[in-house]
Amino acid sequence: MADRTKVAVIYYSATGITYQMAVEAAQAAEKAGAEVRLRKVRELAPEEAIRSNSGWAAHRLETQDVMEVELDDLTWADAVIFGTPTRYGVMAAQLKQFIDTSGPLWSKGLLADKVYAAFCSTATAHGGQESTLLSLFHVVYHWGGVVVTPGYTDQSQFAAGNPYGASHTSNNGQVPPDATALGATALTAQRAVQLADTLRRGRAG
């Protein structure tokens, strides 16, 4: 496995919509030849809030065996794919809290020159999908990373419609990602692997 591109799929999901997209991203990255770590960020919400929502509580139980992300996952990876639901047009606080702990790595330049991509979900149509992805990429600019998006590099993207990354409208968690959203997620992951492969080969040469 030493010669395989390493990809960390790091996500937050409350009721499972973003988790389903994260699984798709991880599987697509593996199919593209990468070694993959699927990692969730730590939950910050109070216990009473989680218990008050049956879908939230059920999803936490469903994914209890998914490992929580550590800073080592960022340094390990050649490419990082972030996933988040939208909160008022930006990433979820849980993901932001993890990112905010990355200062020691950033100060040493350990997050630079890696490939980064992202996907997101919203409760409503036009609920801030593009602004959420852009808010994530602002972090990458500070890190000195390489942003990779699906763009319109595949005909399917003219149906998906979001060149910044994969996205899905869940109707408040009631609608799981469809084939279009999952296809865009897979394309995003595949492109992240391809570009990370290219960077690795360039360094080796």
The string of pLDDT tens digits covering residues 146-186 is 999 999 999 999 999 999 999 999 888 788 999 999 999 99
When pLDDT is cut at 50, 70 and 90, the band that residue 22 belongs to is very high
175: left (phi over 0), alpha (psi -120 to 50) or beta: beta
Which has more pLDDT, 50 or 85? 85
The string of pLDDT tens digits covering residues 91-116 is 999 999 999 999 999 999 999 999 99
When pLDDT is cut at 50, 70 and 90, the band that residue 2 belongs to is low
The string of pLDDT tens digits covering residues 3-15 is 899 999 999 998 8
Cα-based torsion angle of the residue sequence 106, 138, 149, 9 in order, rounded to the nearest 10 degrees: 50
Helices 179-204, 17-31: crossing angle, 10 deg rounding:
40
Q: Distances from the Cα of 119 to the Cαs of 12, 21, 59, 108, in angstroms?
A: 11, 8, 19, 27
Nearest to 33 by CA among 2, 9, 5: 5
Q: What is the pTM of this model?
A: 0.94
Q: Specify the fold of 6-204.
A: Rossmann fold (3.40.50)
Q: What residue segments make up the domains of the chain, in order of their start?
A: 6-204
